[in-house]
Amino acid sequence: MDSITVLMTSPMSDYLENQLKDRFNLVKLWTYSSKTDFFKHNSHSIRAIVGNTKIGADAELIDSLPELEIVSSYSVGLDKIDLRKCQEKGIRVTNTPDVLTDDVADVAMGLMLAVVRRVCECDRFVRRGLWPKGDFRLTNKFSGMQVGIVGLGRIGSAIAKRAEAFGCPISYYSRSEKPETNYKYFSNIIDLAVNCQILVVACALTEETHHIVNREVIDALGPEGILINIGRGSHIDEPELVSALLEGRLGGAGLDVFENEPEVPEQLFGLENVVLMPHVGSDTVETTDAMADLVIKNLEAHFLKKPLLTPVV
Amino acid sequence: MESIGVLMLIPMNTYLEQELQKRYNLFKLWTAPQKPQFIKEHANSIRAVVGNAGAGADAELIEALPRLEIVSSFSVGVDKIDLAKCREKGIRVTNTPDVLTEDVADLAIGLMLAVLRRLCESDRYVRSGKWKKGDYKLTTKFSGKTVGIIGLGRIGMAVAKRAEAFNCPICYYSRTEKSDTKYKYYPSVVELASNCQILVVACPLTEETQHIVNREVMNALGPKGVLINIGRGPHVDEPELVSALVEGRLGGAGLDVYEHEPEVPEELFGLENVVLLPHVGSGTVETRKVMADLVLGNLEAHFLNKPLLTPLV
Contacts of A230 in chain B (CB under 8 A): none
Q: What is the DSSP letter of B135?
A: P
* A285: nearest CB among B111, B140, B276: B140
* B141: nearest CB among A144, A167, A287: A287
Any chain B CB within 8 A of the CB of A167? yes
Tell me if B197 sits within 8 A of B185, measured CB to CB: no
**Out of A92, A232, A235, A302, which one is annotated catalytic?**
A232
**Out of A69, A177, A259, A261, which one is annotated catalytic?**
A261
The C-alpha of A189 sits at a distance from chain B's nearest C-alpha, in angstroms, of 26
Q: Is the pLDDT of residue B1 over 80?
A: no
Q: Do B119 and A166 touch (CB under 8 A)?
A: no
Q: What are phi and psi of B207, to 5 degrees?
A: -60, -40
Q: Which of A63, A88, A83 is nearest to A71 (CA)?
A: A83
Contacts of A269 in chain B (CB under 8 A): 126-127
Residue A92's pLDDT is what? Answer: 98
Q: Do B120 and A126 touch (CB under 8 A)?
A: no
Query: How many whole angstroms separate alpha carbon A122 and alpha carbon B264?
Result: 13
- Give the long-range contacts of residues B301-307, CB within 8 A, separation 24 or more: B302/B48, B302/B69, B302/B70, B302/B92, B303/B1, B303/B4, B303/B47
Cα-based torsion angle of the residue sequence A41, A45, A51, A55 in order, rounded to the nearest 10 degrees: 30
Selected residue with higher pLDDT from A40 and B60: B60
Number of CB pairs, chain A paired with chain B, less than 8 A apart: 174
> Before B36, cis peptide (omega within 30)?
no
Any chain B CB within 8 A of the CB of A259? no
Q: What is the DSSP letter of A213?
A: B
Given pLDDT bands bounded at 50, 70 and 90, which one contains residue B49? Answer: very high
> Before A262, cis peptide (omega within 30)?
yes
Contacts of B255 in chain A (CB under 8 A): none
Contacts of B117 in chain A (CB under 8 A): 106-107, 110, 280, 284
Q: How many helices (H) and strands (E) does chain A have?
A: 11, 12
Q: Do A275 and B119 touch (CB under 8 A)?
A: yes
- Nearest-CA residue of chain A relative to B144? A102
Query: How many whole angstroms separate alpha carbon B116 and alpha carbon A180?
Result: 33
Residue B19's pLDDT is what? Answer: 98
Query: How many whole angstroms separate alpha carbon A211 and alpha carbon A217?
Result: 10
Chain A, 75-94: which have a CB under 8 Å from a chain B CB?
none
The C-alpha of B125 sits at a distance from chain A's nearest C-alpha, in angstroms, of 8
Query: How many whole angstroms separate alpha carbon A234 and alpha carbon A205?
Result: 8
Query: How many whole angstroms separate alpha carbon B295 and alpha carbon B96?
Result: 7
Contacts of B136 in chain A (CB under 8 A): 278, 280, 283
Query: How many whole angstroms separate alpha carbon B295 and alpha carbon B169?
Result: 37
Q: How far is CA B275 from the centre of its chain?
A: 16
The C-alpha of B134 sits at a distance from chain A's nearest C-alpha, in angstroms, of 9
| Residue of B277, B288, B290 to mutate for A, most A C-beta atoms under 10 A | B277
Q: Do B166 and A162 touch (CB under 8 A)?
A: yes
Low-confidence ranges of chain A (pLDDT < 50): none
Tell me if A294 sits within 8 A of A288, measured CB to CB: no
* A109: nearest CB among B113, B285, B288: B113
- Burial call B86-123: b when 16+ CB within 10 Å, e when fewer: beeeebbbbbbbebbbbbbbbbbbbbbbbbbbbbbbbb
Residue B204's pLDDT is what? Answer: 96
| Residue of A136, A137, A141, A159 to mutate for B, most B C-beta atoms under 10 A | A141
- Nearest-CA residue of chain B relative to A270? B127
Residue A38's pLDDT is what? Answer: 86
Q: Do A106 and B113 touch (CB under 8 A)?
A: yes
Cα-based torsion angle of the residue sequence B10, B11, B17, B21 in order, rounded to the nearest 10 degrees: 50
Active-site residues of B, by number, are: 232, 261, 279
Chain A, 118-157: which have a CB under 8 Å from a chain B CB?
119-120, 122-127, 131-132, 135-136, 138-144
Residue A42's pLDDT is what? Answer: 84
Q: Residue range B135-160: average pLDDT? A: 97
| Percent of residues, chain B, with pLDDT higher than 90 | 99
pLDDT digit string, tens, across residues B177-219:
999 999 999 999 999 999 999 999 999 999 999 999 999 999 9
Residue A40's pLDDT is what? Answer: 82
Query: How many whole angstroms separate alpha carbon A282 and alpha carbon A297?
Result: 19
Q: Residue range B29-53: average pLDDT? A: 97
The C-alpha of A55 sits at a distance from chain B's nearest C-alpha, in angstroms, of 15
Any chain B CB within 8 A of the CB of A55? no
| pTM listed for this prediction | 0.95
Q: Do A123 and B106 touch (CB under 8 A)?
A: no
Please state which of the ranges A65-74, A218-227, B1-10, B95-104 shows the lowest mean pLDDT: B1-10
Q: Do B284 and A275 touch (CB under 8 A)?
A: no
Contacts of B288 in chain A (CB under 8 A): 138
Q: What are phi and psi of B120, to 5 degrees?
A: -70, -40
Tell me if B156 sits within 8 A of B179, measured CB to CB: no
Alpha helices, H only, chain A:
14-23, 35-42, 59-63, 83-89, 101-116, 119-127, 154-164, 189-194, 215-221, 238-247, 285-303
Q: How many Cβ atoms are within 10 Å of B215's Cβ, its own excluded? A: 16
pLDDT digit string, tens, across residues B261-301:
999 999 999 999 999 999 999 999 999 999 999 999 999 99
* B278: nearest CB among A107, A131, A261: A131
Q: Do A283 and B136 touch (CB under 8 A)?
A: yes
Residue B88 host element (H or E): helix B83-89
The C-alpha of B72 sits at a distance from chain A's nearest C-alpha, in angstroms, of 21
